[in-house]
Amino acid sequence: MTALNATHDPKLRSWVASANEAGTDFPIQNLPFGRFRAAGSQEAFRIGVAIGDQVLDLKAAGLVDTDDMNALMSVSVKDRQALRASISAGLAEGSDKQAAWSKALLAQAAAEMTVPCRIGDYTDFYTGIHHATTIGKLFRPDQPLMPNYKWVPIGYHGRASSIRVSGQVFKRPQGQTKAPDAAEPSFGPSKRLDYELELGFVVARGNALGEPIAIGEAEDHLFGVTLLNDWSARDVQAWEYQPLGPFLSKSFASTLSPWIVTTEALAPFRAKFERPAGDPQPLPYLDSAANRESGALDITLEVLLQTAKMRAAGEAPARLTRGNTTEAAYWTAAQLIAHHTVNGCNLQPGDLLGSGTLSGPKPDEAGSLIELTQGGKQPITLPNGEKRAFLEDGDTLVIRGYCERAGAVRIGLGEVSGTVV
């Protein structure tokens, strides 16, 4: 696991004044990566690092000689750490880079962001045990969790082509659905559109085909973490998912945050990976002392909803839930990488691994509406009196994430938002 170093010093401050403001997502201790260009331009997207309310153009600052994020992600851990140290030193108060690098800054409000890297492949896992249990009770009351769940990280191959950056606007999907009392299926727009609160784990260096990544080396192949909303058409899903799993119910849209928070930035916010008493321990290829000691991540996640009516009235999004990843995820990122490659599958820089819906043990920590409303049977009431069982046209769903811990500076993952029309 990445060790603490000078870049995590809580006393460190930046000459970019907004990076020193209390509550900012992007202090100098964070330095997440993304791709940007000036809004309204047709320029090529460039690699940038968020600092306060600005984005630093790494190429203009002389820190990289490429606009290819995937190439940058594929370098060695040592080189990644050296780049982070250089960025941190140059942005720190008193740096002799201030005059030159000031010209390489662009206000985030004036930037157009895109998906932070080229995503060649997307695998969605199912690590949220509370989500899996609740969904299982809805679909399979007699057997909420399948016998393999606590032994093997469950996943399926998703669709990379429909992944877009935060701010995505997408059309309500259509498909086949079948009501329980219907003799045959019908076709039309989904009536049970849902969100899924997830983290996205972004692969750094890949592995050769046929060469598994051992769990002790897995984090060297993890570039960082982003926020992910894997939208789901629950009525389409219920009809299609057996026997091969999700298909059209998931492939119409997935939305990512524009920023990847690196594993280095997350070093102060690691947590023990512990299984509940009585649960089976992972098989040896999914187990290591380091993973047990600090394989988990301590990230607070919030979900907010803004309806079209709220937006027209100038009302802010209303928070639906808030929870923490330490109580939600049954498997760590290292275990996902080790399992994904144990059969010889080759990962590549930029591949995206979804965590699956991260719901906590309490009702107000649910990571989806199907849980929050008990399958639509108990609609929620928003502050303006509107009710929701599932998402309606014009709804905007927002996910935010941040890390807080005594002795460390708070860092954020930004936010990911999307709107259904």
What is the rounded CA–CA span in Å between residue 284 and residue 282? Answer: 6
Q: Other CB atoms closer than 10 Å to residue 16's CB: what's the count?
A: 22
With CA atoms as reference, report the closest residue to 356 among 192, 136, 142.
136
Q: Encoding tokens for residue 52?
A: 């306060």
Q: Of the residues 8, 130, 131, 340, which is catalytic?
A: 131
With CA atoms as reference, report the closest residue to 13 among 72, 76, 98.
98
Please confirm, yes or no, whether 157 is among the known catalytic residues: no
Residue numbers annotated as active site: 131
